[in-house]
Amino acid sequence: MSSEPRDLIADRRDGVLYLTMNRPDKLNALSDQMIAGLLEELGRAAHDREVGAVVLTGAGRGFCAGGDIGRMRERNEGGVSNGGAQTASASAGEAGIQTRISSLRRSEEVSLLLHEMPKVTIGAINGPAAGAGLSIALACDIRIASDAARFGTAFARVGFSGDFGGTYLLTQLVGTAKARELYFTAEVLGAEEALKLGMVNRVVPAANLTDEASAFAKRIASGPTVAFSYMKAHLNLALKSDLRTILDRESYGQTLTGLTEDHKEAVKAFLEKREAKFNGR
């Protein structure tokens, strides 16, 4: 068994998949191993009936710092000769550029999975969330932030335009004017300011974050998860569609969820004046 530390720790309990980005010495900056783990775990959970919710957080004092600046420097210097001229095999060639575009686009599926998978995804933002780390946090359905959390687009600071869906997700949450300001200035926001802007759902004391996120996730996982999956799909569709389309989709989802065991149990429990016991079917 390998003794090397894992860049992503996955733990399943009480119907919840807990994912912890685990590079605390680098504020959980993204690595190939971490991204591969997120894609694998989220992809599997999307089809696992035993998983009712997903919690994503970071180890140590950070949520995710985004890209690894040290690796960026190695990559950039790797394409330069001692004299400062670009090498013939440098990745700036057309083929190399296309390879990098394709690689990044595959990695960005992390955000798409968090945003679109038929499970409620919860970001437990324990510390700084910057760059792609902010984008990943924004891709979650619910964000519960520690009062020690900090939020920044960061891309302008390193001459990047942005990735992992942040320009779309931030615009949806705070509006186009504020999103543009935050991208152009790379201003860092505290947890309370992020709450006022609608970037997070709630702010809790740092010592309570794990318990608060876990309690929320367990509540979701023990609820009517089939109905939640349709709700999420409808809410996502509402971001880019019209009322007529939503009405069509809701009539379909409402009819199908009305055939589930969960619906029948909820009606029975209501009439019997007791709590419903859902089983995700």
Per-residue pLDDT tens digits for 29-80:
999 999 999 999 999 999 999 999 999 999 999 999 998 766 766 666 665 4
Q: What is the CATH number of the domain that holds 180?
A: 3.90.226.10
β 150-152/142-146 pair status: unpaired
Report residues of the chain scoring pLDDT below 70: 1-4, 69-70, 72-92
**Exposed e or buried b per residue across 108-122, where buried means at least 16 C-beta atoms within 10 angstroms of its C-beta:** bbbbebbbebebbbb
Residue 102 lies in a domain: no
Could you tell me the CA-to-CA distances from 191 to 6, 61, 99, 126, 234 in Å, in that order? 29, 14, 37, 10, 28
How confident is the model over 110-120, as pLDDT tens digits? 999 999 999 99
Residue 82 lies in a domain: no
Q: Both 62 and 48 in a single domain?
A: yes
Q: What is the pLDDT of residue 87?
A: 40
Q: Both 213 and 255 in a single domain?
A: no
Residue 81 lies in a domain: no
Q: What is the pLDDT of residue 1?
A: 42
Q: What is the pLDDT of residue 39?
A: 98
Residue 96 lies in a domain: no
Q: Both 217 and 238 in a single domain?
A: no
Residue 277 lies in a domain: no
By residue range, what is the domain housing residue 210?
8-73+107-221
Q: What is the pLDDT of residue 46?
A: 97
Residue 98 lies in a domain: no
Residue 88 lies in a domain: no
Q: How far apart (Å, rounded) are the C-alpha atoms in residues 163 and 127?
A: 20
Domain count, the chain: 2
Q: What is the pLDDT of residue 70?
A: 67
Q: Both 164 and 201 in a single domain?
A: yes
Q: Both 149 and 254 in a single domain?
A: no
Residue whose structure tokens are 């109905």: 227
Q: Both 16 and 129 in a single domain?
A: yes
Residue whose structure tokens are 């992992």: 164
Answer with the one of 191, 206, 221 that is the final residue of a domain. 221
Q: How far apart (Å, rounded) are the C-alpha atoms in residues 53 and 47?
A: 12
Q: What is the CATH number of the domain that holds 240?
A: 1.10.12
Could you tell me the CA-to-CA distances from 236 to 17, 172, 204, 232 in Å, in that order? 22, 11, 26, 6
pTM (two decimals) = 0.90
Structure-token pair, residue 260: 């589930």
Could you tell me the CA-to-CA distances from 125 to 142, 157, 276 in Å, in that order? 10, 22, 31
Q: Both 171 and 217 in a single domain?
A: yes
Q: How far apart (Å, rounded) are the C-alpha atoms in residues 260 and 275?
A: 17
